Amino acid sequence: MLYKEIAVRVKAKNPLMAEIFSLMSRDEARHAGFLNKAMQDFDMVLDLSGLSQTKKYTYFEPKFIFYATYLSEKIGYWRYIKIHQHLAAHPEDRVYPIFKFFESWCQDESRHGDFCNLLLKTDRRNIEGWQAKLWSRFFLLSVFATMYLNDLVNRKSFYEVLGMDTRQYVEAVLRDTNRDAAKAFPVILDLENPEFWARLQDCETSMAAIAQAQAGEQPKWQKAIAKLPHQLKLAGHFLKLFLLKPIAIDPASVR
């Protein structure tokens, strides 16, 4: 929907850019179509077509969209390809036909990420200077921490059904995405620093405690009080993770 909306809005000013976004929207719509068909097998329906009419638009500077979308597409590539590789080696774990399409899907994600990389480089301020370094660290940490906590706290059973080790899978995806980010960002995270993984593991405990408090039957104000110390602990970990020394990338490699 994001790509389609951009294609419509820039068509008059830049037809070539509009065509590229339209093609990427086509790819994502194909993925969504397969997922919608799959959900019907489980009596689930999700209709996104009305969002553009029912949700208010929030404006973000284009560079923020490019940072976030680049990482979303690249991390999607590594997620899909690693699941595909595992199931190719263990076809007995392919519990549903949709996994047959993951190899072609991951190539779509990689191409989209490469295009967002080019968009970032159209303005040197996106990849040079102290602000670019701070934004790169912010988006890397945001995307990595989100995947790490979602998969290890909320989705662990899914990967176990596929016969995968969730922690090994998540760490491998983050490492490969971080390595890819060196082609686009002026800095990347230091994933060899043991403090990075130790703090994320502590965050798992806090997230589980927050989920437990939220699931209780207490009034909302009691839940808020119960969650607050864990939320503050999470904030402290995220701040310290953000302040960890990153790895600087040779500017020539991202030109």
Per domain, the residue ranges of the chain are 1-59, 61-191+213-255
- Check pLDDT > 80 for residue 189: yes
Q: What is the pLDDT of residue 241?
A: 96
| Confidence (pLDDT) at 229 | 93
Rounded to whole angstroms, the Cα distance separating 18 from 8 reads: 7
pLDDT at residue 215 in the model? 85
pLDDT of residue 188: 97
Tokens 């230091």 appear where?
190
Q: Is there a contact between 113 and 73 (Cβ–Cβ < 8 Å)? A: yes
Per-residue confidence (pLDDT) for residue 31, from 0 to 100: 86
Q: Closest by alpha carbon to 116, among 181, 210, 186, 205?
A: 181
Q: How many Å apart are CA 165 and CA 152, to the nearest integer?
A: 10
* pLDDT above 70 for 70: yes
Least confident of 58-62, 115-119, 147-151: 58-62
Cα separation, 104 vs 89, in Å, equals 17
Per the prediction, the chain carries an average pLDDT of 90
pLDDT at 202 over 70: yes
pLDDT at position 240: 96
Is the pLDDT assigned to residue 253 strictly greater than 70?
no
**pLDDT confidence of 232, banded at 50, 70, 90?**
very high
Q: Beta partners for 247? A: 188
Residue 148's pLDDT band (cuts 50, 70, 90): very high
Which pTM was predicted?
Answer: 0.89
- Return the pLDDT at 63: 86
pLDDT digits 0-9 by tens, 76-109? 999 999 999 999 999 999 999 889 888 888 889 9
Tokens in use for 11?
């068509």
